[in-house]
Structure formats: C-alpha cells, structure tokens
Amino acid sequence: MSSLEQRLSRIEEKLKQENEEARRRIDLNIDMSPQRPRPRPIIVIQLSPAPAPSQRAALQLPLVNDGGSRSSSSESSPQHHPYPSRPRHMLTLPTPPYSLQKSLENVEIDQKLQEIMRQTGYLKIDGQRYPAEVTDLISEGEIGSGTCGQVFKVRFKKTGHVIAVKQMRRTGNKDENKRILMDLDVVLKSHDCPYIIQCYGAIVTNTDVFIAMELMGTCAEKLKKRIQGPIPERILGKMTVAIVKALLYLKEKHGVIHRDVKPSNILIDAKGQIKLCDFGISGRLVDSKAKTRSAGCAAYMAPERIDPPDPTKPDYDIRADVWSLGISLVELATGQFPYKNCKTDFEVLTKVLQEDPPVLPLSMGFSLDFQSFVKDCLTKDHRKRPKYHQLLEHSFIRRYEVLEVDVAGWFQAVMERTESPRSSQCYSHQHMLHSLLSR
C-alpha cells in the first residue's frame, strides 16, 4: 500500500471512529423531568469527574424530537427511542486560581472561557439585555442534533421571543470542549456581520452550555432534499454573495478560517436572509495560514488538506474554504453530490485527489459567469485558486450583489409546496461523511 493510500485509510478510520462517538453522544438520553430541581448557572472552572447520574440534577428543557442538523433552523426532525444516559467526565469552567497545566493550548482555552463567562447568564435581544436562566427557556420542540449537541426551538419566557437554543453537554472530551468554545467565541464576536448567525448570549450550568441564537428557517441541505432537485441559480447567486462575505469577515475581522463550509451550515429563512453557521471546528490563522490538523467534512475537503506536502505540519489557507464552497455550489445547483457512486470515505477522498474537479454541466443552462465562478473555486492547485477579494471582483458576484432576487418569496413557496425530508440529517452526501475533529 502506498503512503497516500495509508494516509487515506487513516483518515477513513478516523471518520468511522468519530461517527461512532457522535452516535453515542446523540443517543444519550437527557433526563428532563420537571419534578427535578434545576441547576443554577455557575462560574467555577476546574477539571473534575462527573457525579453519578443518580446524583446529578436534571435540566428542564424537555426533549420533543430527535433529528439531524446542528444548525439553528426551525425545521423539525423525526423521533427516536432514547438510550440510557452514561457517566461522563465534565469540564467545569475555570476562574483563577486554578491548577490546570499552563500549556499554550490551555492558555487559549482559559482566555476564551473568561471572555465567555463575562457574557453568560443573560440574553441580549433587539438591543435589550435580559437576565436569563435555564428556567426561562420554554422548549417548543427539538429541531436538530449533531456531533456537538441538540438544537431546540425555544420561547424566551421573559419576552415571548421564539429563538433557537443549542444545548451542548460539557464532557471531558478535549476536542468536544474546544469545539464548544470555538463556536461560542466566534458567534459572540460576530454580532456585526449580517451574514453570520446571530448569538443572543449563553447560559452555562454545571452540566451543559446553552447558546441562544436567532431562529432561521432551514439549511440549504434540507432545502435540496425538499425540492429533490436543483436550487435555482438566482438563489445560489445571492447565497454565494452572503457566504463569501461571511468568510471574508471571519478572516479579516477575527483571523478565523471556517473549515466546515457545506450546505448544512448555510441557513436561510422566510425573510430571505442567508447566513453561515457552526464554527465549532473553525481555526485560528497564523500569518494567514492554518497550522492545525485537518478538520471538517471529508466530502467537501480541499485536496491540499487531504494530501498536504508535510502531514505533520498543516499549512493551508482560506482557499481550502473556497474549494468547499465550490463543491457545495455544484451539489446545490445540480441537486446531486458531485462525487457519485462512492460507498466509503476512502473512495470519495481518492476521487477528490485523482479526478478532475467537478464542473457545472453545460446541459443545465447555467450562465457563463456562474460556470466560471465555480471553475475558479474548484481550481485543484490551491496556489492558483482565488482568495475572497478576487472572488468578490468576479462578474458572478458583482451581478448578484446588485440584482434584485425575491429569495423570501421563493423560500416561502418551496416550504409551502414541499414536505420536510424524511431524513432530516443535515449532512450532505448520502453516506454521511462525518467530521474530523483532530486538530
């Protein structure tokens, strides 16, 4: 077996392991009995073993359904049978003095925690700040779940606002904790970007983190499944403008690369708003380069991330997200994932490396500038692939920046005439290619 095949096999094995871990996490039943006392939000940080399930207070945000997406969209999911909960190790949040070993990673985590803790315990909605506890969140049903937690449609009792709340268990898993912190850190800082999901605040308890976000309609992946075919170019034009501007904002304002651009992380609502979400595996850029190991969904992963020159020293940049955007556009524009007939992650990864990049079919009548834009995004040599500022100068982007498109009307018509997809898993690609969490 060649070194490349060995590398692909290792990636595939990691995906399988992550898949199993994710299913175990999703299948844990959270006891939400209203007779049990609710834990009060805490501001203490130290590593400690979790209490036995019989000793732990239950949270009062009732589970209604279970389903697929991590996104904060309102489309509901089918029910599943609960499994018994298991003992976990929890991360309780640190305030000095604390005895964590001072590695650089711990320092960064501590800084994020301290910043987040200053903003926890209240929600800021429509410019007004309200003290908030878990008891103020009235669940109207679960609208999705994924590797990192569950998302509920929730009514905020103090104001009546209907919002999305992501509930994430605080386990002792380092990668999962980093994911929670990164997602919180990015959304809390991105309040001034209209193309990124807005966060109203967070509530931290001794067992969970609750992130309150604006409620969107659904994700692009579920829309594709509802339509059972292509999404019109005019809608994708507006979607492209929004996502490129969101990615540019993350890079320019916060020095962040998203690393998980895919249809399930692109949200749309009845107002016609299009926003990017899920920053759990985003990474910090150092001299405009990502220096941590590959993360994200294999189906949308750029070639330079699958087969880097030196696997021990990741050295890719935001053009990896440009590739992911290109793959997403081909999938949404054609209604099909471009790497067909793949039964394993290994086959997909191999095709990404060995085959020519996907293109928009000439037979489907796409405009020349849309075809050109996708071709540029899917330039296999990342050194020749355009960055965001170049993409914003492309005629496709310039056209849809000014062209009036009734995204809201189209979205509402689709939602009225179609049914929710049977499988609401907001993971593109039928084989559910799961996230790589190692950094």
Asked whether residue 236 falls in the same domain as residue 153, the answer is no
Per-residue pLDDT of 30-82, as tens digits, reads 333 334 444 444 333 333 343 443 333 333 443 333 333 445 666 654 444 44
Write down which residue in 190, 211, 232 finishes a domain: 211
Given pLDDT bands bounded at 50, 70 and 90, which one contains residue 178? confident
Asked whether residue 395 falls in the same domain as residue 299, the answer is yes
In this predicted structure, what is the pLDDT of residue 205?
84
Task: Identify whether 120 is part of a domain.
Answer: yes
In this predicted structure, what is the pLDDT of residue 81?
41
Which SS3 state, helix, strand or coil, does residue 259 take?
coil
Task: Identify whether 188 is part of a domain.
Answer: yes
Out of 26-30, 273-277, 281-285, least confident range: 26-30
Structural domain that includes position 253: 216-282+295-415
Asked whether residue 411 falls in the same domain as residue 338, the answer is yes
The mean predicted confidence, pLDDT, of the chain is 75
Q: Are 164 and 212 in contact (CB under 8 A)?
A: yes
Query: Percent of the chain beyond pLDDT 90?
Result: 43
Asked whether residue 251 falls in the same domain as residue 115, the answer is no
The backbone torsions φ and ψ at residue 386, rounded to the nearest 5 degrees and listed phi first, read: -70, 155
Asked whether residue 185 falls in the same domain as residue 312, the answer is no
Q: Are 261 and 295 in contact (CB under 8 A)?
A: no
Q: Is the dihedral of CA 392, 393, 396, 401 positive or negative?
A: positive
More confident residue, 284 or 122: 122
Out of 128-132, 207-211, 306-310, least confident range: 306-310
Asked whether residue 166 falls in the same domain as residue 308, the answer is no
Out of 115-119, 124-128, 419-423, least confident range: 419-423
In this predicted structure, what is the pLDDT of residue 62?
38
In this predicted structure, what is the pLDDT of residue 59?
38
Q: Is the dihedral of CA 212, 213, 214, 217 positive or negative?
A: negative
Task: Identify whether 311 is part of a domain.
Answer: yes
Per-residue pLDDT of 365-406, as tens digits, reads 999 999 999 999 999 999 999 999 999 999 999 999 999 999
Which SS3 state, helix, strand or coil, does residue 213 take?
strand
Write down which residue in 150, 181, 211 finishes a domain: 211
Asked whether residue 349 falls in the same domain as residue 229, the answer is yes
Structure tokens at 418: 């179609």
More confident residue, 52 or 326: 326
Instruction: Give the chain's domain count.
Output: 2
Determine whether 406 is an active site residue. no
Which SS3 state, helix, strand or coil, does residue 266 take?
strand
Asked whether residue 144 falls in the same domain as residue 169, the answer is yes
pLDDT over 60 at 294, yes or no: no
Write down which residue in 170, 195, 211 finishes a domain: 211
Asked whether residue 399 falls in the same domain as residue 276, the answer is yes
Task: Identify whether 136 is part of a domain.
Answer: yes
Given pLDDT bands bounded at 50, 70 and 90, which one contains residue 24? low
Spell out the residues 6+ positions from residue 421 whose beta carbon is closer than 8 angstroms to its own.
222, 225, 226
Q: Are 182 and 226 in contact (CB under 8 A)?
A: no
Task: Please identify which of the residues 260, 269, 278, 321 carries the catalytic annotation.
Answer: 260
In this predicted structure, what is the pLDDT of residue 31?
33
Residue 389 sits in a domain whose CATH number is 1.10.510.10
In this predicted structure, what is the pLDDT of residue 368?
97
In this predicted structure, what is the pLDDT of residue 110?
64
Q: Residues 253, 255, 256, CA angle at the centre, nearest 5°?
A: 110
pLDDT over 70 at 288, yes or no: no
Among 162, 120, 137, 131, smallest CA distance to 62 is for 137
Mean pLDDT of 248-277: 93
Asked whether residue 227 falls in the same domain as residue 327, the answer is yes
Mean pLDDT of 236-243: 98
Task: Identify whether 69 is part of a domain.
Answer: no
Query: Percent of the chain beyond pLDDT 70?
Result: 65
In this predicted structure, what is the pLDDT of residue 80?
43
Residue 186 sits in a domain whose CATH number is 3.30.200.20
Asked whether residue 237 falls in the same domain as residue 164, the answer is no
CA 125 to mean position of chain CA atoms: 22
pLDDT over 70 at 427, yes or no: no
| Full DSSP string of 107-160 | HHHHHHHHHHHTTBSEEEETTEEEE--GGGEEEEEEEEEETTEEEEEEEETTT-
Task: Identify whether 5 is part of a domain.
Answer: no
Task: Identify whether 370 is part of a domain.
Answer: yes
pLDDT over 80 at 101, yes or no: no
Note every long-range contact of 136-142, with CB atoms under 8 Å and residues 24 or more positions apart, other chains counting.
137/61, 137/165, 137/203, 137/210, 137/212, 139/61, 139/62, 139/63, 139/64, 140/64, 141/64, 141/65, 141/76, 142/63, 142/64, 142/65, 142/66, 142/67, 142/76, 142/77
Asked whether residue 374 falls in the same domain as residue 237, the answer is yes
Q: Are 245 and 297 in contact (CB under 8 A)?
A: no
In this predicted structure, what is the pLDDT of residue 8?
74
Task: Identify whether 234 is part of a domain.
Answer: yes
In this predicted structure, what is the pLDDT of residue 299?
87
pLDDT over 70 at 357, yes or no: yes
Among 156, 297, 169, smallest CA distance to 213 is for 156
Which SS3 state, helix, strand or coil, does residue 281 take?
coil
